[in-house]
Amino acid sequence: MTVFEAAAAIDTFLLLRVNRPVRYLLVAATVLHMIVVAIPNVPRAYVDYSRVPLLSGVHQHETYGTDTIGNSYVAKVVLNDPLDMYTKARLEQTPLEKATWTTEESAPYPPAALLTAAGLYAIGEATGIGFYGVVVLLAALFIALSLWYFLDTRWYLFPLLYLNFAYFGHRFVYVQDDSYLAMLVVVMIALVVARWARWARPRREASHLLMALAITMKLSPAAYVREILTMRRGTAMMFVAILLAGFVLPYFIWDNYLTIFTFHAEVKGNIYDTVAAVALVVPFTIVLWYVEARLGFDLEDRIGWSLVPFAMFIGIKMRVARHLLIVLLVPDKRGLRNIVAAIGLALHAAAPEIFRLGSVLYITTSLLFACLAYYLWRIGWATVAGVTNVLEYSTNFTNWTTFTNLTGTGNPIQVPDGSSDPRRAYRVKLLY
């Protein structure tokens, strides 16, 4: 029995059979733990715990995290004059902003991300909770949507990921990856809609358009562009229109727009990192697309996996594990992506001097390759509910032998393929 088969047995015969009260108790304990971990990451500039008796002994950062500072500055620039988005000439930085980032380094993101940041800043000012408070709520929304999805698929992945909340507690609550969080919330909405839309095509089309919007905010889901080939013509045209509006139209509106691309090309990494990234990501993406077709990955699978190739590329190219780890938080109903993230985070938390984040980046990349290798040894298809699905194989397309049969549930299924015969082909026959 392989590690993957053992894990599948534990999943099927133990974890998915845990009763609901126990599930909810463990999830509630995880949420409570996350709150405890998050509390010290709230900066004193936002809430001063020395004035709160129960929290007066908690150590706090004196000021806001680097992303909060840089992104709030650019949000103010956009609100002051949208056409100054990339020139940043009409609004001076405060001394703290200037000491943290140069104007060029402050939020070098696509217009959709910066307009979103400006919107978040305006909401924070209008409600009195500030930009920082709105971003914390954005993180909470991403986690809440993820929790709903986990409870509807594999509940145990939520505590597996978030009982080790130290790294992302720091990133979400102190540093505040607001551009990533905004993109991830859009992806989660697309994923939730896809789950609701398993039998409703109009909602599936909405998921496609949401993914186009997510790409314009952050390039992580760029691999989803391939799904244009599966869309209806009208949806595909709207998808392309959103991408053109997000990436091409800005060239004619904003001066200095192209600097965001040159900045990211020059800021970190070198030619060797870029070559290594391409050498790993290209075969990974090709195998991923083959696996998606072979196992009949549905829309939910494709949304989640579409985040991985570009995140892997930019993580290796820039030598920053965060770019890959953060997208692996998006729920995977099959479980493997989330388990990879949990392993990487656990290694770093257990021995940070041994498993530095740079090492974790390559460990998680290797594990993702292992996941695809595992999938290559399996056969999958979308079962037809209520009827017998008979899986057959042949080496000559004339004589067919039954491999297995089962009653369909309407959901995708996978069965192991132990054959090494490259001539073997498979088909599914339905018995009504």
Distance CA 327, CA 322 (A): 9
Distance CA 307, CA 292 (A): 14
Which residues, in sequence order, are CB contacts of 266 under 8 Å at separation 6+?
A: none
Residues 252-263: what's their mean pLDDT? 90
- What is the extent of the structural domain holding 407? 379-431
Closest CA to 102 of 295, 259, 315: 259
Residues 132-140: what's their mean pLDDT? 98
Each residue's pLDDT tens digit, 315-374: 999 999 999 999 999 999 999 999 999 999 999 999 999 999 999 999 999 999 999 998
Q: Are residues 234 and 273 in the same domain?
A: yes
CB neighbour class for 22 (10 Å; exposed up to 12, middle 13-18, buried from 19) = exposed
Residue 42 pLDDT exceeds 60: yes
> Hunting for tokens 């709105």 — which residue is that?
134
Report how many domains make up the chain: 2
Q: Are residues 268 and 389 in the same domain?
A: no
Torsion, Cα of 369, 373, 375, 378 (10° steps): 180
DSSP SS3 for 426: strand
Q: Are residues 359 and 393 in the same domain?
A: no
The β-bridge partners of 390 are: 405, 429
pLDDT at position 360 = 96
In angstroms, how far is CA 327 from the centroid of its own chain? 3
Would you say residue 102 lies in a domain?
yes
- Contact indicator for 340, 346 with CB cutoff of 8 Å: no
Closest CA to 416 of 375, 382, 384, 388: 375
Q: Are residues 310 and 399 in the same domain?
A: no
pTM over cut 0.75: yes
Q: Element (H or E) spanning 312, and its range?
A: helix 308-318
Each residue's pLDDT tens digit, 66-91: 999 999 999 999 999 999 999 999 99
pLDDT at position 88 = 95
Q: Are residues 270 and 351 in the same domain?
A: yes
Q: Are residues 413 and 292 in the same domain?
A: no
Q: Are residues 334 and 404 in the same domain?
A: no
Would you say residue 6 lies in a domain?
no
Q: Are residues 403 and 359 in the same domain?
A: no
Would you say residue 24 lies in a domain?
no
DSSP SS3 for 40: helix
DSSP SS3 for 294: helix
Q: Are residues 185 and 242 in the same domain?
A: yes
Task: Report CA torsion sign: 29, 33, 39, 42.
Answer: negative
Q: Is 60 left (phi over 0), alpha (psi -120 to 50) or beta?
A: beta
User: How many CA atoms lie within 13 Å of 375's alpha carbon, on the beta-carbon side?
Assistant: 26
